[in-house]
Structure 1
Amino acid sequence: MPFPRLNEAVKNIKRAKQSELLHLGNCANLMAPRRIYYTSDFKKAYKRLPRNIQDTIDRKDKIFRENPFDPSLRTHKLHGPIGGLWSFWATRNYRVLFEFVKDDAIFYDVGTHEIYR
């Protein structure tokens, strides 16, 4: 082989990417959730939102159902006291707080950054 170091580097990169995918697979189901459950807190908070925000959340919900990690959602795992939960962008100011449970998702709350407190 003319470039043994390069070949070894490529193998290491492939191994690293595989381990990253395995780690992500343990964090959450990368497939779209089979079902989404809405808690009563989520439903109450949703009803209190302005109509235009509700419409946006409805559109984001459809995207989430297809791909919970769509880049437009900016889905991310939370840390600290609410670690283990996840959040995605509804708008610049509004977030949806949820959790993956097996093949499903549970939406706990929706609102501004105040929902993290």
Structure 2
Amino acid sequence: MKIALSNSFKKDYKKLPVRIQKLLDGQLLMLLENSRYPSLRIKKIQGHRSIWEGRITQSYRFTFEKINDTYFIRRAGTHPILNNP
């Protein structure tokens, strides 16, 4: 698998605190290595057939789609991003 980043994600990432950026970097590496790793807490987003969410911290999440052999990272931020994943 590989990772591709959306423009929305790139904008979101720049707005995150540096500490959260570092944690997110680690979570994305873990997604590549083992998408079932417990701390990721991967689950489908209700109402969206192909969009998933992963946990960065208790308050921060990232969203993505699986497209062939690529994780397309869509958004990152606090819980409200799940309203527009």
TM over 0.5, shorter chain: yes
Cα distance in structure 2, aligned partners of 1:116 and 1:62: 21
Alignment-derived partner of residue 97 in structure 1: 63
The count of residues paired between Structure 1 and Structure 2 equals: 83
The unaligned stretches of length 5 or more in structure 2 are none
Greater strand proportion = 2
The unaligned stretches of length 5 or more in structure 1 are 1-33
Provide the aligned C-alpha RMSD in A. Answer: 0.9
Percent sequence identity is 36
TM-score when normalising by structure 1: 0.68
Q: Secondary structure at the match of 1:69?
A: coil
Q: 2:10 aligned to 33, 36, 43, which one? A: 43
Greater helix proportion = 1
Alignment of 1:75-86 (within 5 A): 75-80=42-47, 82-86=48-52
The answer to which structure, 1 or 2, has the higher relative contact order (CA under 8 A, 6+ apart) is 2
TM-score when normalising by structure 2: 0.92
Following TM superposition, the consecutive aligned residue runs of length 4 or more in structure 1 with deviations greater than 2 angstroms are none
